Amino acid sequence: MSAKSLVTLLLIFIGHAVFAQSKKGTVRPPFTLSLRINDSIAFDQPFKETFYLVDEGVLQLFPGDDVLVEVDLEKDSLINFKIVPTIMNKEKTMRFTFFQSYEGNIHKEMILKVYNPFSKNLVYKAHISIINTDGWKSTSIAPVLPKLLSYELWPDIIGSILLQGFKLESAK
């Protein structure tokens, strides 16, 4: 990866951090985003505090995040999102885990795990920020079946993912 590519990635992440800090939500403590690119290149970027919830119902995850999100239900809509440290209401707490998988020191894939505590399918939209590209890219997501854990995999090196448009749907 060239120095220009690393600078571009750095600017994208700084922009995301500034955007996240301008919205209400629960604060993510300072952290260092560490991604393995290949055998000889790793990416390490420190971040100041950012928010998990960058807007109502919009969750931003970075690799390494493991987040519990409690919501209220209004018909089939999920509302009043809040980050919680532990599961107090298991029937309305979703879990999101986002991480990088690698073999040796070489990037293999990015993985998003989502637990659906509800009795209907959980559907949502996702946008990813891929290293060495500009902006957010929409990506397909399969519905999470009731009371189950789902896995989404991408071969790209993703610096951040936005999840939004959460709703419940009956199984088809």
Average pLDDT over residues 137-157: 96
Rounding to the nearest 10 degrees, give the CA dihedral for residues 109, 97, 44, 110: 10
Give the other-Cβ count within 10 Å of 60's Cβ.
27
11 pLDDT band, cuts 50/70/90, is very low
Q: 50-59 burial, b for 16+ CB within 10 Å, e for fewer?
A: bbbbbbebbb
pTM over 0.85: no
The domain locations on the chain are 3-169
Evaluate if residue 3 carries a pLDDT over 90.
Answer: no
Which carries the bigger pLDDT value, residue 46 or residue 19? 46
Place of tokens 């919680």: 84
Structural element, H or E, at residue 5 = helix 3-21
Average pLDDT over every residue of 149-160: 96
pLDDT band at 23 (very low <50, low <70, confident <90, very high): very low
